[in-house]
Amino acid sequence: MAKEPEKKKEAAAPRAEPVKGSGTPIVLKDRFQVYPATPLYDFDLPSATAFACSDKRDPSLYLLAYVCKPELPPRVNVLRTLKGHTMTGLMPLLEWGVAEWPPAGRQCLLVIYQRPLGGRVMPSLDAEIAPLEEHELVKKIMPQMTMVLKELAEKGITHRAIRPTNLYWMDERGEQLVLGDCVTTPPAFDQPVVFESAEAGMCMPAARGSGGNIDDLYALGVSMLMMKMGRNPLKEATTEQILKGKITKGTYSLLVGDERLPLSMIELLRGLLCDDPAERWSVNELELWANGRRLSPLQPKQDKRAVRGFAFLGEEYNTCRELAFAMSQNWDKAAEPMMDGQLEVWLRRGIENKDLADLVGLAIKNAKGAPAADLKQAEDLLVTRILMLLDPMAPIRYKSFSALPLGFGPALAVIMGVKTDPRLFAECLTRDVPHIWFETRPEYDPTNSQIDSMFKDIKAFMLQQAMGYGLERVLYDLNESLPCQSSLVADSFVAEIAELLPALEHTAKKIDPRTLPMDRHIAAFIACRFDYNVERQVTALNDKTAHNQLLGMLSLLGTVQWRLGPESLPGLASWIGAHLQPVVAAFHSRARRRDMEKELPRLVRSGNLPELFAYIDNVEEKRRDEDGFMLAKAEYAASSQEASDIENGTDRRSEEAQRYGHQAAGVISMMMALTALSILLLIRFF
């Protein structure tokens, strides 16, 4: 009897009230109030910080706002799709937008979510929690996860951030599990390698790409296992150890180890954690399992093992994939055993794969035939080709750069966003490394041909160093939703071409007018995103003369205003007008220059860039000015010559006078002779 009251008291203990915001809020879209003074540390992500938020329309709601890192590109296309869409099993995304963020001293992207009241499933991957029961996982959680992954698949979206630290209990009772944020960073950027398949885990975090739903299913399988065990079985392992273990043992064996699991969980995990993407369960198969249909458990496939191992840097490797991974981790040491023929012999005798040995032998022969000056480059390309042949499932690996084909775009965005050296990325493209990857595919895939063609196009853009091209053009071609990265508009998050001129208008109010309203990023952004041919304007922008460059800039921005508006941009027009003196000075007529200097202020105040351009680049006025200048040059030359002759009094003038005198004397003599002859004839006949 003594224990009963205490039990009731414990059951009646209220849950702590969720934190509300305090302090001066930042208002987003005139509705959501974000509180910089009220951080929500329990919801922080590796690359985004969480703050309390409230809704003016419904103050009773508990919300949170993620503030994104400016240097990391968010998934804008996914943001647009998920905004305001209620999906069971996914944390509701209510709004997103850019606002001035005082702690950062600049504008940042804010993403507003409805706040889960039950907290994270696991506070960290190093923490231990009470293991979830089989019944809860199988009957409650998996159906919820199956439903949300199916709906995401139907929308063509991958989550790419499924892990226990990004899974939340939406309600206080822990009945509804939801997936957390997936938009604040590039796909899988914050994913620990344990949640990525071996091939994706080998990539740089930014270069994993959006992947497919099988990648989400793999991460879900790892998460379910950790929730069943209540811990991360690999928390002490390094990234290299985890990848090596997945390659040598397989994901299931590596993670499960000696853990005893229920039969239903074994079936589920073998299906989700299958290392062969072609054999891994799809969403449809997961749905069948969730609905009670039991499938035959998949048995792991073993790579063909060598009769004898290949010795490399003091260790022996028995499969091609193990060896390829080891060589990729020791790039500078990998070429030697390839060039001296050891690898080809091992493939032929140890692995007994004649076809692979022939391909490796041909690659080595071509590398040895390279000129001595290009030998190092040839060896690097040999290593990358042979690694692709040894492990076709692995990503593109070139020196320290590794990426899946569709991860090149996010990788370049992060490289340029954090301002690291892009030379290795550029080198990878100029040496056609992606093409080698497509060449070495064991099976033909039409999609690969399309992507290979895309890489050829972007290589051509990159090799042109003019404004509107180069790496900046590649950046926007590979990232269709990436905001313009120009420092002139970086604070405004310009994701659409229609947002560019208003952002420049805003910048014009606070920037030093001596700065040009054009740079490589803006030129490339317009060339890539503007649905109008601006090749002529871009060509003028890269002219050798300053006044033609300015005309090209004005024409380019004016064309954007003409097609997309707004009607008036007085600030931007004034900003451009401050740089037009070389254009005015290019006219020869002083009268024309005076007229222009009087008229330009009026045009600038109107804020109409096309009208401003039409006035200063008037073809008829330029022709008239040129004709007048040529005539003036001719008249000036003649007058100068005449004045010079008069002033100098040279021998040439004396000679001309003597010549003219002789001519005059001759004429006079002839006339006198004719006169005398006429008189004589008259006398004779009369």
The DSSP bridge partners found for residue 48 are 45, 68
The residues of the chain scoring below 50 in pLDDT are 1-15
Residue 304's CB: how many other CB atoms inside 10 A?
11
Domain check: are 269 and 169 in the same one? Answer: yes
- Other C-beta atoms lying within 10 Å of the C-beta of residue 502: 17
| Residue where a domain stops, chosen among 259, 290, 321 | 290
Structure tokens at 347: 């493939």
| Number of domains within the chain | 5
Q: Which of 114, 144, 167 is the last residue of a domain?
A: 114
CATH code of residue 172 = 1.10.510.10
Say yes or no: 570 and 495 in one domain: yes
Query: In this structure, are 169 and 267 located in the same domain?
Result: yes
Residue 269 inside a domain? The answer is yes
User: Are residue 236 and residue 350 in the same domain, yes or no?
Assistant: no
Residue 577 domain-assigned? yes
CATH number of the CATH domain containing 53: 3.30.200.20
Residue 3 lies in a domain: no
Gap between the Cα atoms of 505 and 143, Å rounded: 51
Based on the fold, state whether residues 242 and 203 are members of the same structural domain.
yes
Residues 384 and 447 in one domain: yes
For residues 285 and 315, state if they share a domain.
no
Same domain, 205 and 63: no
| Structure confidence at residue 297 (pLDDT) | 57
**488: domain range?**
483-624
The residue among 232, 257, 290 that closes a domain is: 290
**Tens digits of per-residue pLDDT, 95-150?**
999 998 998 888 899 999 999 999 999 999 999 999 999 889 988 899 999 999 99
**Residue ranges with strand state E in 139-221:** 167-169, 177-179
Report yes or no: 538 and 467 within 8 Å, Cβ to Cβ: yes
- The answer to whether the beta carbons of residues 198 and 243 sit under 8 Å apart is yes
Does 296 reside within a domain?
Answer: no
Residue 443 inside a domain? The answer is yes
Is the same domain home to 376 and 519? Answer: no
Q: What is the DSSP-derived secondary structure letter of residue 132?
A: P
Within a domain: residue 6?
Answer: no
What does the alpha-carbon distance between residue 167 and residue 149 come to, in Å, rounded to a whole number? 14
153 shares its domain with 236:
yes
Residue for token digits 């009670």? 292
Residue 379 included in any domain: yes
- Specify whether 322 is located in the same domain as 280: no
Residue 9 lies in a domain: no
Say whether both 461 and 503 belong to one domain: no
Distances (CA, A) of 13 to 370, 444, 587, 602: 78, 63, 85, 73
- Please state, in angstroms and rounded to a whole number, the distance separating the CA atoms of residues 325 and 344: 17
